[in-house]
Structure 1
Amino acid sequence: MRKVETLTIFIILAAVLLCGALLGHLLLANAGNGRLAWLLDGAAIALVAIVSVGVFSPNSPIFGAVISGRRIGDRVMALTFDDGPSPDTTPRILDILRDAHVHATFFVLGKHAERHPEIVARICGEGHEVASHGWGHGLLVFARPSAFKHELQRTAEILIACGAPAPRLFRAPHGFRGPFVNRVAGRLGYRLVGWSKGVFDTALPGANIIAQRSREAMRPGAILLLHDADGNGDGDRSQTADALPAILESMRERGLEAVTVSELASRQNPPRFSWKRGLIGLGAVALVATLFFEKSSGGLTSTLAVFAGLNLGLIGLAVLANLISIALKASLWKVCLETIPERPSVRFIHVLSAVFVGFLLNSVFVARAGEVARAVVLRRRITRQSGLQLPLGAVAGTIIAESLISAAILVSILVVAAFLVPGLPPVLAHAIVALLVLVLAAAAVILVAASRTRRSATVGARGRTPGRREQQVRDRVSSLARDLGNGHRVMRHPGAAAVAILAGLGSWFANLAAIWLTLLAFGIGGHAFAAACLVFAVSNLVGVVQLTPGNLGVFPVAVAVTLAHGFGTDRALGISFGVGLQAIEVALGAGLGLLFLAAEGLSFADVRAASVRESGATPARQPAPPDSSFALGE
């Protein structure tokens, strides 16, 4: 089964499961079991999320342990080659490794080993490690355990017949694994292997790009994923061989020794105390204590009663409105991207995918890490499709332009609402002023930074000729200024600017409609539209700075306090509404973000590492203007 088929079936099954949970919710709610109905919903959503991570993340330990290169203190890393052997590329790679006195691990396909046993024999004879990649490169998400077992045994027989020792390592094609893969492989004596970095050499980006991506991934314990053949055809992998000398030279410069995966795993340090797990444990204790307190005070009963009486039809409409808001926000960003000169074509689905992946990271990390993530994902997609690398500065410029346009439209909508919507409390005026100050401050910072960047690029040192190093710095600054300017070109195209403004207006109005529908679903009907306008303003104000991942806990409290202060809404009802509003956000944004992440062929660790790397390498990081934490559009 191929990648598209696997993803399609998985999405259909997830949708069927969630629809079944919704039907069960309705039946239980009608029978008076509201609490059990919500427990069923939570279990279904959690199951889909957990299985998605376990299936599509190559290093996920959910279904069993995976060698991923973590906890390695020695300055060693592993080079791995998948899908071989190939008569065109594998011998070249072996020649380069032999001349450099370096050993690697080859994850061999059984069908290719059967055709080229002499190459497998050479791999073993020159001291490299031979591991299994299965027989035919079919994905293992829905394969039967018996079929997978037969595939492993058949491949092992071929490798042994070629002169290799019995393989003890296995890597799943694309890293996709069904729940049984670890168990079946473990019974046959295999350990599963992931990777810390895939350089996407199969997209043929060029030897220089492959070497550059490999250099960026080098660290103690890294497992570099490369390819010496095509698992699904006769694709050219010569660029990987062309890049290998530069990769080995970079390893020597960094003092990193190449070892096999088995040796790398033998150097793994024992696990230390995990502060992350400790914090999660403390959070769980705090949650239990809070629930106990709420139960003893009667607050939990009233909160659960609110959820049990929800209007699910209105919730469904709110989810749809929120999805429309995200799509229009992606359209706004696409308009900004299309004004970059000499840029490759950008498809809407790829922009939408990047937006959802960005939201996924915003939901998990603080400091709005998703802003960098969506730029990284989109640039990677464009490079894979066209072979051209869009400058990061230009993409960052479009994100800044999109954020400024959205923020200006947001403030304009709230100002108009303050005059036209009856029943709005005075606190809305304070929120509008705060948002306006933040927008103006962000715009001022961006303008000053852009002005200083242009000045640094054009003004030379007086009375002397700049040295080589100084000239290189000036050239880089000049290039950055040009890229950022290209990202803002939407402001100079009246037609594109008009389309961007319309998309921004539609996005915000859909977002406002989603909040209004959610209020009605929770039974907050008095002055519902005025309350929606107030929550709309406060949610964006709170979303400027993420104090916790996805503002978890902060958002519901801010919404509850605002509704209580502005409209006298009951505390339990306000908190329930805030939790429900955020649950819609996470279920839609993070859930679809995981699916888009899998469709991009990336692991969570890949995007996180690339985002951190790009964020540290980009001199033009600016504070994000106010944006909706509910609209899922970073």
Structure 2
Amino acid sequence: MRRDQTSPGRRTALRLALGLGAATAVHMIAADPAATPARPAGTRAVAAAGPPAKPRGRPSAYRLQPMTGNAPARFRPAPPPVRTRPFEELPGLGRSMVLSFDDGPDPLYTPDILATLRTYQVRAMFFVCGEMAVDNGDLLREMAADGHVVGNHSWSHPLIPKLSRAGIHDELGRTSEVIDRTLGGPPLWYRAPYGAWNRDSFEIGAELGMEPMAWTVDTLDWTTPGTGTIVRRVLDGAAPGVVVLSHDAGGNRSQSVAALRRYLPELLDDGYRITVPHRD
């Protein structure tokens, strides 16, 4: 995964102590406007012209039969203590927001989302499932090349609290292995499917060198409520430091694709900087 190249003098330091106290807070860096450019010159703050792109080909099988295997190798053991709750927002960054997309990568919808983000030169977080990532390495590499953060969303999207420790380790570890093998480095962030965390998941995530990231604004786009509804939820929930949850796989995500084309330029016009967190 490509590392942040922003110099220390041009970055905004963020210290969060979610459940641990200031002494054990994680340092995070948010790219400044030079590292996360605003809209390119000449680009108007309106929805992209033309109708939303139609999905290409046949939908990919999202709920594949999980493969079995031995417990994965550990990557970057984290010293205790570990977190007891996930990051849900990134305060202290000024008028900045984080956009995140779960469940992919999907060859039908992820390319359109990446294209829109590229048009406006902003970065986002993609929490990928191993069963999707293993066959779509080209999309992982495209994410990394564009400066997006690629996170771990488990292998097969299970309800984590129902799994044994070994099962959680397998779900998270094997996905980290795919990302590591594809991008040359393991993920530093993970998100529990359905936002269902437990103590084992925090501990195992820490063993694998990852920090837990949740969200502040849920678009509920997986319910396909309509493009306008998704746009309204994002704009109504917009505020400094919020993390927006959307999806680029797991079903028909054409509404999510179309909504991004509408709300992203509006957020930028309203003075928001779309950025991603980076760990020191």
Residue in 2 aligned with 1:122? Answer: 142
Matched, 1:212 2:232: yes
Do the aligned residues in 1 keep the contact of 2:123 with 2:276 (CA within 8 Å)?
yes
Residue in 1 aligned with 2:170? Answer: 150
Q: Deviations for 1:515-549, whole angstroms, at most 9, x for unmatched residues?
A: xxxxxxxxxxxxxxxxxxxxxxxxxxxxxxxxxxx
State the distance in 2 between where 1:86 and 1:70 align: 27
Q: What letter is aligned with 1:131?
A: G
Q: SS of the residue aligned with 2:209?
A: coil
Q: What letter is aligned with 2:175?
A: T
State the distance in 2 between where 1:117 and 1:97 align: 19
Candidates 241, 250, 254, aligned match of 1:221: 241
Matches within 5 A, 1:69-468: 69-163=89-183, 165-230=185-250, 235-262=251-278
Q: SS of the residue aligned with 1:64?
A: coil
Matches within 5 A, 1:489-528: none
Q: Deviations for 1:308-348, whole angstroms, at most 9, x for unmatched residues?
A: xxxxxxxxxxxxxxxxxxxxxxxxxxxxxxxxxxxxxxxxx
Tell me the CA shift for residue 259 of structure 1: 0.7
Structure 2 CA distance for partners of 1:63 and 1:262, relative to 1, 3 Å:
closer
- By percentage of residues, which structure has more helix? 1
Do the aligned residues in 2 keep the contact of 1:201 with 1:226 (CA within 8 Å)?
yes
Please give the root-mean-square deviation of Cα atoms over the aligned residues, in Å: 1.7
State the distance in 1 between where 2:154 and 2:277 align: 17
Tell me the CA shift for residue 117 of structure 1: 1.1
State the distance in 1 between where 2:184 and 2:235 align: 31
- Per the normalisation by structure 1, the TM-score is 0.31
Q: Structure 2: where are the runs of 5+ without partners? A: 1-81
- By percentage of residues, which structure has more strand? 2
- Number of paired residues? 199
- Per the normalisation by structure 2, the TM-score is 0.68
Tell me the CA shift for residue 80 of structure 1: 0.2
Do the aligned residues in 2 keep the contact of 1:67 with 1:194 (CA within 8 Å)?
yes
Do the aligned residues in 2 keep the contact of 1:142 with 1:178 (CA within 8 Å)?
no
State the distance in 2 between where 1:164 and 1:74 align: 32
Structure 2 CA distance for partners of 1:238 and 1:91, relative to 1, 3 Å:
same
Structure 2 CA distance for partners of 1:141 and 1:77, relative to 1, 3 Å:
same
Q: Deviations for 1:410-468, whole angstroms, at most 9, x for unmatched residues?
A: xxxxxxxxxxxxxxxxxxxxxxxxxxxxxxxxxxxxxxxxxxxxxxxxxxxxxxxxxxx
Residue in 1 aligned with 2:17? Answer: none
Tell me the CA shift for residue 164 of structure 1: 5.2
Structure 2 CA distance for partners of 1:164 and 1:129, relative to 1, 3 Å:
farther
Q: What letter is aligned with 2:225?
A: P
Structure 2 CA distance for partners of 1:73 and 1:118, relative to 1, 3 Å:
closer
Do the aligned residues in 2 keep the contact of 1:63 with 1:180 (CA within 8 Å)?
no
Q: SS of the residue aligned with 1:66?
A: coil
Q: Structure 1: where are the runs of 5+ without partners? A: 1-61, 267-634
Tell me the CA shift for residue 151 of structure 1: 1.8
Structure of larger gyration radius: 1
State the distance in 1 between where 2:244 and 2:277 align: 10
Structure 2 CA distance for partners of 1:159 and 1:257, relative to 1, 3 Å:
same
Do the aligned residues in 2 keep the contact of 1:167 with 1:190 (CA within 8 Å)?
yes
Tell me the CA shift for residue 118 of structure 1: 1.0
Tell me the CA shift for residue 72 of structure 1: 2.7
Q: SS of the residue aligned with 2:246?
A: strand
Q: SS of the residue aligned with 2:98?
A: strand
Q: What letter is aligned with 2:133?
A: A
State the distance in 2 between where 1:71 and 1:98 align: 25
Structure 2 CA distance for partners of 1:181 and 1:130, relative to 1, 3 Å:
same
Tell me the CA shift for residue 65 of structure 1: 3.5
Q: Deviations for 1:171-200, whole angstroms, at most 9, x for unmatched residues?
A: 000101123111111122111011001010
State the distance in 2 between where 1:158 and 1:247 align: 32
Tell me the CA shift for residue 250 of structure 1: 1.8
Structure 1: 4+ residue segments shifted above 6 A:
none
State the distance in 1 between where 2:163 and 2:187 align: 21
Q: SS of the residue aligned with 2:171?
A: helix
State the distance in 2 between where 1:122 and 1:148 align: 28
Q: SS of the residue aligned with 1:262?
A: strand
Q: Deviations for 1:453-485, whole angstroms, at most 9, x for unmatched residues?
A: xxxxxxxxxxxxxxxxxxxxxxxxxxxxxxxxx
Do the aligned residues in 2 keep the contact of 1:130 with 1:164 (CA within 8 Å)?
no
